[in-house]
A and B are shown apart, each in its own frame.
Chain A
Amino acid sequence: MAGLGDQGQTIAGWGNIGVPGHEVLSERLERASADAVLSRGLGRSYGDSALPPPSSREVLGTRLADRILSFDPASGRLRAEAGLSLHELNRLLLRRGYFTPVTPGTQFVTLGGMVAADVHGKNHHVAGCFGSDHTRMVRLRVADGRILEVTRESHPDLFYATCGGMGLTGHILEVELDLKRIPSPWIYAESRRIADIDEFLAALAEYERFPYVVGWIDCLSRGRKMGRGILDGGRWATAAEAGAKPLPKVPSPSVPLMFPNWVLNDLTAKAFNTLYYWKHLAKEKKGLRHPDSFFYPLDMIRHWNRIYGRKGFTQYQCVIPEDSGRDGVVRFLEALTAMGGASFLCVIKSCGPESKGTLSFPRRGTTIALDIPARSGTQALVDALNRVLLDEGGRIYLAKDTFTRAEDFRRMDPRLEQFQAVRDVWDPERKLRSAQSVRLFGDPE
C-alpha cells in the first residue's frame, strides 16, 4: 500500500461522521494485510470501529476479496474470503435452500465484519451470535505477521477475542461456518400493533415462540402511550406453505443526495413515528413475507443514511440486563423521552444468554437501539443515557458507538481487561488499532 496521501479524503462509518483517511481496496488480503493497521468490510458499523487511528489514516478494504473457497451443497459448510457480503451469499444460496445462521438487520455486511462485531439478529434468543456461536474457523493475520487458522479448540483465547473484537486481534482473511438448511425461501410472519410498554414486554415474551423476533417502538410518545409500537415475529415457511412461488426481485431505490440537515427534525420524526404506527392498521397481521422485507427493511432504500444530512448521526444501542426487569426498561425509556432524543427508529428485542465472545455485545435482557442525529447536544445526550445505563448495569454495542467516553465504557464492560490481556499476548505494541480503540481502549494514536 504505497503512501498515496489522503488526497483530501475522509472516511466514515454508516453514521457519516468522518475522519481524515481513506481505504485501500485489495483482492489479495494475504498480501495487503501484512502492514495494515485495520481491516474494514462494507463500513456498516455506525461509528468509528472501522476508521483508522489518527496517525495512520489508512485501512485495508476487504470487500473485493469475496471468493467462495468451498461450499458443500450437501452439508452447507462454507469457507469464503472475509470480504464476501451477506447480500451475495443470500443471492446465491437462498434459492438453493441455505441461509446464514445469524443475520444482522442489513445484508450489506461482510463475513469479516460479522465475525469482528459478533453480530446478533432477530433470533438471538435462540441462536446467539454469528462469530462465537456459529463460526468454525477464521484464518487470521496476527500482528507479528503470522497467518493462523484459529478455531475455538486451537486457540480458544484468540478465537473468542476475535469474535466481537472489532478487528483488533488480527485481520480476518477467511471464515468458515455451517449454513442453515431452510425449508423454503419464504418467511411466515405475524405482526401486532401494541399500545404501551407493558403490553410490549409481555408480547415480546409471548413471541419467543418464533425464532425471529423484533419490535419497533415510538420513542417520542410519552405518558400512557409510552412504548407503543409494532412487534414482528417469524419463522421460515414450510415448503407446503410457500408452494412453488419463486422469490421476486425487490427493487431498491436510493437516496441520491445528502439531505439538508433541517429535513430531519423533531416534527418530521414525530410524523414518521405516528405514520409507521398507524400504517399497521389491523391489530394483527399474518402471512408469507419476502425474506428481504422481513430481515432487511432498511436495505429497501439504498443510502438511507443520507437523510441525516452532512452532519451525520449515531446509533445508540444498549442492552438492559434481565435483572433490571420491566422497571429498568421503563426507567430507560422515561429518561430518553424526557431528554427528547428524537429518533426515526427505535428498535427493541429480547436477547438470549451471553455468548463466549470476550467483548460480544448481547447478554440476557432487553436491547434498545435508536438513531440520533449528530448535533451540538448529542454528546450530552449519550453521556446522560450512559449514566442511566450504568445504573441499570447495562452496556453499549461497539459496532454502533461514536460518543461513549472511555471511562464509561470501562465501567460498563469489565470484560475489557480480559480482552486487553489477550491483546497483550498477540499484539503487545498495539500495531492493530482503530479510531475507536484509540478513543475507548487507550491505544496509542
Chain B
Amino acid sequence: MRVAILGATQGMGRAIARLLAERGDQVFVLGIEPEELARTSADLQAHSPSHMPVGAALCDLADPSTFAAALDAAEADLGDVECVVVTAAIFATQDTLEEDLDRTELLLRLNFTNTVVFCEHVRRRLLQRGGGTLCVFSSVAGDRGRKPVVLYGAAKAGLSHYLEGLDHRHHEDGLRVITVKPGFVKTGMTAGLKPPPFAGEPVAVAASVVRAIDRGTPVVYAPGIWRLVMLVICALPRFIMRKVGF
C-alpha cells in the first residue's frame, strides 16, 4: 500500500507509520519541522525490511496553503497515493483553554476547520483516482459534551460528524472513510496527565488502526474497551453528567 501520513513524527502517527514501513508498505510523511521529518524518515527507513528510503514534505495544519503542494509531493514520490492517514492535532486542557481565547481559537481552527479542509483536498484526489482510504483521528471526546473536554471535544465532535457524512456520501464511489476514536493513549500529548484505567499504548492502537485500514472498518475505538465506556457515558442522563467529573 502507498500511504501518506500527516502526524507521523510523534505518538500514534509514528507507531502507525512504523508498522506500515515494517511490513513493506511505502510511506510518505507530512509535518511541520524539517529536522523532525528527517529524523522520522530515517527511523522509518530503518524499520523497512528492504531499507526503503522514506520521503517527506512540509505541511502545516495551521496553514492550508501548504496542503496542495504537500499532497502533490506525496503523489510524486509514491507514484500513487492509495491511503491518507491524519493523526495531527493539538490538545490543551479545558482549564487552559478557558483562560486563553487565542489558544482556543487556534485549537478549534486546527482540529476542526483546517483538518476538514485538508480532508477535502484528499477526498478530491482519492475520488479522482477511483477511490482510496482516508483514515482520520477524531476522539472519544467527540462522542458527548463533557466537563473536562468541552472545547477540544466540540472540535472532535464536528470532525466525527463530517467524517461520518463523508462515508455516507461517498462509500459507493470507493472512498473508505475510517474514523479513529482513541480513548486515553500514553503519548506525548497526554504526558502531563495521570493515566486513567484502560489507558492505551500507541503500538497497540496502531495495530488496530492498520487492521481497520486493511478491512475498511468505518469506526475504530482504541483501546476497544472505550466503545463500551462511551456507550455507557452517552446513555447517562444529563443530571448525572452535571454531577460527575468525567
How distant is the Cα of A143 from the Cα of B187 in the complex, in angstroms?
27
B10 close to chain A: CB less than 8 A: yes
Contact status A26-B46, CB under 8 Å: no
A2 touches which one: B22, B40, B192 (CB < 8 A)?
A: B192
Q: Chain B nearest CB: distance from A139 CB in Å?
A: 12
- Which chain A residues lie closer than 8 Å to B40 at the CB level? 67
How distant is the Cα of A73 from the Cα of B53 in the complex, in angstroms?
13
- Which chain A residues lie closer than 8 Å to B45 at the CB level? 71
Contact status B191-A68, CB under 8 Å: no
How distant is the Cα of A69 from the Cα of B135 in the complex, in angstroms?
27
A68-B192 contact given A25-B186, A27-B11, A73-B51, CB 8 Å threshold: no
How distant is the Cα of A329 from the Cα of B211 in the complex, in angstroms?
56
Contact status B188-A67, CB under 8 Å: no
Q: Chain A nearest CB: distance from B158 CB in Å?
A: 28
Q: How large is the interface on B (under 10, 10 to 19, 20 to 34, 35 or more residues)?
A: 10 to 19
Main secondary structure of the interface of A (DSSP, over half): loop
B32 close to chain A: CB less than 8 A: no
B11, closest chain A residue (CB): A27
Contact status A25-B42, CB under 8 Å: no
Contact status B42-A27, CB under 8 Å: no
B169 close to chain A: CB less than 8 A: no
A70 close to chain B: CB less than 8 A: yes
Q: Chain B nearest CB: distance from A16 CB in Å?
A: 18
A147 close to chain B: CB less than 8 A: no
A67-B11 contact given A26-B191, A28-B188, A73-B51, CB 8 Å threshold: no
A264 close to chain B: CB less than 8 A: no
- Which chain B residues lie closer than 8 Å to A81 at the CB level? 39
Q: Chain B nearest CB: distance from A25 CB in Å?
A: 5
A376 close to chain B: CB less than 8 A: no
- Which chain A residues lie closer than 8 Å to B39 at the CB level? 67, 69, 81
A68 touches which one: B10, B42, B187 (CB < 8 A)?
A: B42
Contact status A27-B43, CB under 8 Å: no
Scan residues 165-203 of chain B and give those whose CB is less than 8 A from a CB of chain A.
186-188, 191-192, 194
B190, closest chain A residue (CB): A25
B46 touches which one: A1, A4, A7, A71 (CB < 8 A)?
A: A71
B47 close to chain A: CB less than 8 A: yes
A9 close to chain B: CB less than 8 A: yes
Residue among B11, B40, B43, B46 having the largest count of chain A Cβ atoms under 10 Å: B46
Contact status A67-B43, CB under 8 Å: yes
Residue among A1, A25, A26 having the largest count of chain B Cβ atoms under 10 Å: A25
Scan residues 54-113 of chain A and give those whose CB is less than 8 A from a CB of chain B.
64, 67-71, 73, 81, 92
Main secondary structure of the interface of B (DSSP, over half): helix
A24, closest chain B residue (CB): B191
Q: Chain B nearest CB: distance from A79 CB in Å?
A: 9
Q: Chain A nearest CB: distance from B89 CB in Å?
A: 15
Contact status A69-B42, CB under 8 Å: yes
Residue among B11, B39, B43 having the largest count of chain A Cβ atoms under 10 Å: B43
* Per-position 1/0 for A139-179, Cβ under 8 A of B: 00000000000000000000000000000000000000000
Scan residues 1-56 of chain B and give those whose CB is less than 8 A from a CB of chain A.
10-11, 14, 22, 39-40, 42-43, 45-47, 51
B194 touches which one: A2, A9, A26, A73 (CB < 8 A)?
A: A9
Q: Chain B nearest CB: distance from A180 CB in Å?
A: 17
- Interface residue tally for chain A (C-beta within 8 Å): 19
- Which chain B residues lie closer than 8 Å to A27 at the CB level? 10-11, 14, 187-188
A78, closest chain B residue (CB): B46
Contact status B42-A7, CB under 8 Å: no
Contact status A25-B188, CB under 8 Å: yes
Contact status B188-A26, CB under 8 Å: yes
A68-B47 contact given A25-B186, A26-B188, A27-B10, CB 8 Å threshold: yes
A73, closest chain B residue (CB): B51
Q: Chain A nearest CB: distance from B234 CB in Å?
A: 28
* Per-position 1/0 for A1-22, Cβ under 8 A of B: 1101001010000000000000
- Which chain A residues lie closer than 8 Å to B22 at the CB level? 92
How distant is the Cα of A1 from the Cα of B191 in the complex, in angstroms?
9
Residue among A2, A26, A67, A70 having the largest count of chain B Cβ atoms under 10 Å: A67
B191 touches which one: A7, A25, A69, A71 (CB < 8 A)?
A: A25
- Which chain A residues lie closer than 8 Å to B192 at the CB level? 1-2, 4, 24
* Per-position 1/0 for B224-238, Cβ under 8 A of A: 000000000000000
- Which chain A residues lie closer than 8 Å to B10 at the CB level? 27
Q: Chain B nearest CB: distance from A416 CB in Å?
A: 35
Q: Chain A nearest CB: distance from B24 CB in Å?
A: 14
Contact status B42-A70, CB under 8 Å: yes
How distant is the Cα of A25 from the Cα of B39 in the complex, in angstroms?
19
Q: Chain B nearest CB: distance from A24 CB in Å?
A: 6
Q: Chain A nearest CB: distance from B139 CB in Å?
A: 19
Contact status A68-B11, CB under 8 Å: no
How distant is the Cα of A24 from the Cα of B194 in the complex, in angstroms?
10
A92 touches which one: B42, B47, B187, B194 (CB < 8 A)?
A: B47
A7 touches which one: B11, B188, B194 (CB < 8 A)?
A: B194
How distant is the Cα of A81 from the Cα of B46 in the complex, in angstroms?
13
- Which chain A residues lie closer than 8 Å to B14 at the CB level? 27, 67
How distant is the Cα of A2 from the Cα of B42 in the complex, in angstroms?
31
- Which chain B residues lie closer than 8 Å to A92 at the CB level? 22, 46-47
How distant is the Cα of A356 from the Cα of B39 in the complex, in angstroms?
32
Q: Chain A nearest CB: distance from B86 CB in Å?
A: 19
A23, closest chain B residue (CB): B191
- Which chain A residues lie closer than 8 Å to B51 at the CB level? 73
8 of the cross-chain contacts (CB-CB < 8 Å) are A7-B194, A9-B194, A64-B187, A67-B14, A67-B42, A67-B43, A69-B43, A71-B46
B interface vs A, CB < 8 Å? Answer: 10-11, 14, 22, 39-40, 42-43, 45-47, 51, 186-188, 191-192, 194
A67-B40, A92-B47 are known contacts; what are 6 more A-B pairs with Cβ within 8 Å?
A7-B194, A64-B187, A64-B188, A67-B39, A67-B42, A71-B45
